Structure 1
């Protein structure tokens, strides 16, 4: 019998998250995180309220934007308050159960975000490549079914991936060089044989990290081919303009992650850039959709104009 088989499962009372402890100018970084958190919550809440309260926005594309804003709020609340807690209370400790819960919710909402971007890419693909069949294929009922499946699938897969952690024994170290309970970091420090668990985890992570960008790239290859078939530059520009918001959101989500994997030179730099790659997209997404969507901008103007009208009337009296 091997040594690894004799080792009983050891679950530590807590983990020690050291990622941001030794980072230079950490105080300013936490202040920046608070600003990001504030803007993310306010911005996404405004987008949710505008879409929910105005029937003109009850369409499949805005159904996706609404879902993305919900996921952004969920991820922001699952990630940043825990990071701020380490700074405010000067403690990097997190209990074992809280660590697993934090990991579940952060990963859950991030995967909901990625698959929402996939659905938005599909929406643009059908709108540009099959415009005459768009209303028959893509409607609110279709979107409700798709997002019900996405939320249920992500709940199931993240439950499995989180439960796999309970099979790991942490008898040597409980230190995580990360900014949160990172799934990858936890997989690196167990003292028992975790090869089978790691293999299963890699398969699960492929559904979340590899499949979504691959599907998005395929969608835009189809869109590019369809644009080439449009004879006028004006028609191509008009069709491409409908994809601008989605492309910017996809870029803000995936590019920081890719840059962090390729360019960050040190562990501190990787941790800072990695935490920002998780924290910034929920702040940027509502800004991108508000600035690039004429309907939302017009509705915001109407709200402010309606509120300022009584004030101007009272002043004139």
Structure 2
């Protein structure tokens, strides 16, 4: 093939979510709507937090970073999918595919570590409230965010560099709407043992280790809640942690199902459906989950709309 690199091919074909024209149109408008909601919702969260001094706390600092990552996360995959639908050209260059895979893995990893940092923040707030201000200092919070970006970057770079050593012998159709790691490894005609090994070892460090950290944090929180005699106090803890737990279940449940369960137990269609959940649905729902269940966020968003847009609520 003219212009082919060492992989044996120069481009991949993204098959998308459906071959039916009517379903494709429906999916186009559905994904466009979800992308706009995701961008607007997370942007509003970030602006509301930055404009309200009462929300300049570690919890909302992590939340604003999570919103930023979610915008970048969805922007890695959905615009290309929408562009493919409009142009009727479903190809993506080899280099473009690896670039998309890199950013997708990177932002997924950041999400994972940030959710762990948020769980640790809730643990300190509930289990050691008297030491909260001395433990969750601005420098510690900034360090946790820096670690999440750096750790995830190393993981994404490792997986992407290892992809370049694989050969793709003519089979270039990806049964997905973006260049995901799992379908790319299935397309390779060379040995993927090292890639699979790194996915499970590095992936364990970026997914399972943070997940275990979250479980430990919430185990301590649950024990602390059981010691609270006040019903009002228990409700306050649940309202504070409930939003985060909901997002954790949506995010980790689908990721573990796609990447860390035996491949024989699920089909490509099931993988794609699960991937849509954490790549599109969860980032879209995050602003609603955190704002509708949080009195401070609702007040901040209300004041933002009143001051910036001139609406009267």
- On the 8 A contact 1:11/1:96 being kept in 2, the answer is no
State the TM-score, normalizing by the size of structure 2. Answer: 0.88
Q: Deviations over 1:281-315 (max 9, x none)?
A: 11111112221222222122223444687999xxx
**Which 5+ residue runs of structure 1 have no aligned equivalent?**
1-7, 313-317
Counterpart position of 1:12: 9
Counterpart position of 1:166: 164
- On the 8 A contact 1:172/1:189 being kept in 2, the answer is no
State the TM-score, normalizing by the size of structure 1. Answer: 0.87
- Please, which of 119, 122, 125 is the counterpart of residue 121 of structure 1? 119
Counterpart position of 1:98: 96
Q: Deviations over 1:237-295 (max 9, x none)?
A: 22222112212222332345567789x97644542443243101111111122212222
- On the 8 A contact 2:17/2:176 being kept in 1, the answer is yes
- Please, which of 220, 223, 246 is the counterpart of residue 222 of structure 1? 220
Q: Deviations over 1:119-178 (max 9, x none)?
A: 111111111111111111112221011111211121122111111100111124222122
- Please, which of 176, 179, 202 is the counterpart of residue 177 of structure 2? 179
Question: Which of 1 and 2 has greater Rg?
Answer: 1
Q: How far, CA to CA, are the matches of 1:183 and 1:31 in structure 2?
A: 26
- On the 8 A contact 2:48/2:304 being kept in 1, the answer is no
Change (3 A) 1:26 1:216: same
Aligned residues: 304
Counterpart position of 1:315: none
- Correspondences of 1:202-221 after superposition (within 5 Å): 202-221=200-219
- Correspondences of 1:20-99 after superposition (within 5 Å): 20-22=17-19, 25-99=23-97
Match of 1:38, SS state, is helix
Shift of residue 107 of structure 1? 1.4
Is 1:282 the counterpart of 2:283? The answer is yes
Change (3 A) 1:29 1:269: farther
Q: How far, CA to CA, are the matches of 1:58 and 1:110 in structure 2?
A: 25
Q: How far, CA to CA, are the matches of 2:310 and 2:84 in structure 1?
A: 46
- On the 8 A contact 1:61/1:123 being kept in 2, the answer is yes
- On the 8 A contact 1:59/1:139 being kept in 2, the answer is no
Shift of residue 66 of structure 1? 0.7
Change (3 A) 1:215 1:295: same
Q: How far, CA to CA, are the matches of 1:149 and 1:35 in structure 2?
A: 33
Shift of residue 115 of structure 1? 1.1
Shift of residue 97 of structure 1? 0.5
Match of 2:92, SS state, is strand
Counterpart position of 2:292: 291
Match of 2:71, SS state, is helix
- Correspondences of 1:122-137 after superposition (within 5 Å): 122-137=120-135
- On the 8 A contact 1:40/1:282 being kept in 2, the answer is yes
Change (3 A) 1:33 1:130: same
Counterpart position of 1:5: none
